[in-house]
Structure 1
Amino acid sequence: MEKMEHIILESENNERIDKVISALNEEWSRSLVQQWLKEGHVTVNGKNVKANYKCMINDQLVIEIPEPEELDVEAEEMNLDIYYEDGDVLVVNKPKGMVVHPAPGHTSGTLVNGLMAHCTDLSGINGVMRPGIVHRIDKDTSGLLMVAKNDFSHERLVNQLVDKSVTRKYFAIVHGNIPHDYGTIDAPIGRDPVDRQRMTVVDSGKHAVTHFRVLDRFNDFTFVECQLETGRTHQIRVHMKYIGFPLAGDPKYGPRKTLSINGQALHAGVLGFVHPRTEKYMEFEAPLPEDFLQLIQSLKK
């Protein structure tokens, strides 16, 4: 059984322990952590506590992470927007608001549930929770994803991500008026030591590079295209905040006063990769969703 140790930080003082632990890993739901506490998998300073225990600075947490249960992830019929499909690869346009794959305590309504109903052949490399999933985009980001239908394709697509040879262009609306037309943000990204649910630019983080170009400017907002060279968690959201132009509508990294658009204005519009079997380069483009276009129109006015 894997163990994790954590010392309570000043920012976590007086927070409920179930909330603190679930913030340490985005795949640990609050209900899953409460189950662990009930079963005695968590100790604070060597003692078991209840889920409503209020943490104190320098409390020493030890979390025994049980082996994951094989969850029954069920196929669900969905009207998926599929851009391309053959025996090896599938390219799908994910709508805003949809989670990519199931997690403990959240096993239905995800893209994976829909994919399982659409096709029976998905790679098994990422196990029962993420069949076929090569890369992810956030719940409130719309756009293109590649899906592997067998392990052969999965390995080759992942290798392209590692080699930084996959084309990934995103379209975003950010706060502020970016003065220059082009830029590159080269800043390492890691977990925020103060708030474990967020990522931030830290010296100890992983190498991360984002290229951007300005497409249009509207008073207090800028419409940009961002091209990923690396693919870190929340990379565009973190990098644009880092240079002082956070994404509009972003509840995690944006300002309090922002556009009420239910999540960040971010769309994965262009995806290009070399087909794992034919070795031919393929590129797909998904137009901006209707709500994104309406937002641009309202900003222009």
Structure 2
Amino acid sequence: MAIRIEDLIIYEDEQFVAVNKPSGLLTIPDREGVPGVRNLLQERYGAIFTVHRLDRDTSGLVVFARNEEAHRHLSMQFESRATNKTYYGLVLGTPYNAEGIINEPIAEHPTKKGTMTVWRKGKESITEYVVEERFRLFSWMRYRILTGRTHQIRVHMKHIGHPIVCDPLYGDGKPVFLSQFRARFKIGKFEEERPLLNRLALHAGALTFQGLDGTDITIEAPISKDMKATLQQLRK
């Protein structure tokens, strides 16, 4: 099924455009030339400037600039940590503290290519978290990241022993099935149970930044259907 960029756009003005990126779609094309959100936006608007990115498997909010002035303006806010970024995630188990700050430096893993790890000589990385809801096997969490390191939330959650659900790099990568937490769940003899959630349970939910005229712009990206359905089942 072809992705229609019109279905992903959640905010646009003369300076910026924001999309609610589905899990599995790249933000920008990779080295092999696999297209990303930016390509779809270029087809619609022409010039598009990348300000920040999300991991391919993370869903949620990505903002792009539509001209060089807006690009410079927003990039400076990201670099100076003037933006406010909120993420949501489903994790395995429940952290001991209902809220806290994880301040652990992150660096590239010395032997595992493409992964990151907590390392004392790494770059400063700070994640604030709040446990929003506790379930028997999982917890729904809200994050505010004060630094923007690669895989930051995923690495920090692994570090405290509660990796993001369905994370193939830092967790067990296993999907969520209804039978895991529904005692009376039954399936037909010849049926195979389909997972409720079968992708990284991390979502970029909101971003606040300053427009060119100095006013605050807050954009929110609703969570996707699969995550919504999983939470509804967990709440029952």
Range class of TM-score, shorter chain: 0.7 to 0.9
Distance 1:248 1:114, change over 3 A: same
Deviation at 1:98, TM superposition (A): 0.8
Give the SS at the match of 1:153. Answer: helix
Distance in 2 between residues matched to 1:195 and 1:300, nearest whole Å: 37
> Greater RCO between the two (CA within 8 Å, min separation 6)?
2
Percent identity over the alignment? Answer: 37
Distance in 2 between residues matched to 1:289 and 1:278, nearest whole Å: 32
Runs (4 or more) in structure 1 with deviation over 3 Å come to 76-80
Q: Deviations over 1:193-213 (max 9, x none)?
A: 121221010112111100000
1:6 alignment counterpart: none
Distance in 2 between residues matched to 1:146 and 1:281, nearest whole Å: 14
Letter matched to residue 121 of structure 1 = A
Q: Are 2:35 and 1:99 equivalent residues in the alignment? A: no
Q: Deviations over 1:215-236 (max 9, x none)?
A: 1000121100011101000000
1:264 to 200, 208, 214: 200
Distance 1:78 1:86, change over 3 A: closer
Deviation at 1:118, TM superposition (A): 1.4
1:151 to 68, 74, 82: 68
Distance 1:256 1:159, change over 3 A: closer
* Preserved contact between residue 80 and residue 114 of structure 1 (Cα < 8 Å): no
Letter matched to residue 166 of structure 2 = G
Distance in 1 between residues matched to 2:170 and 2:121, nearest whole Å: 20
1:117 alignment counterpart: 43
Distance in 1 between residues matched to 2:32 and 2:58, nearest whole Å: 22
* Preserved contact between residue 77 and residue 118 of structure 1 (Cα < 8 Å): no
Distance in 2 between residues matched to 1:229 and 1:256, nearest whole Å: 26
Q: Are 2:225 and 1:290 equivalent residues in the alignment? A: yes
2:234 alignment counterpart: 299
Listed as ranges, the gaps of 5+ residues in structure 1 are 1-75, 123-131
Query: Based on CA coordinates, which of the two structures has the bigger radius of gyration?
Result: 1
Distance in 2 between residues matched to 1:219 and 1:106, nearest whole Å: 42
Distance in 2 between residues matched to 1:118 and 1:150, nearest whole Å: 14
Q: Deviations over 1:167-188 (max 9, x none)?
A: 1100100001223221100011
Distance in 2 between residues matched to 1:224 and 1:101, nearest whole Å: 27
Q: Are 2:11 and 1:84 equivalent residues in the alignment? A: yes
Deviation at 1:256, TM superposition (A): 5.3
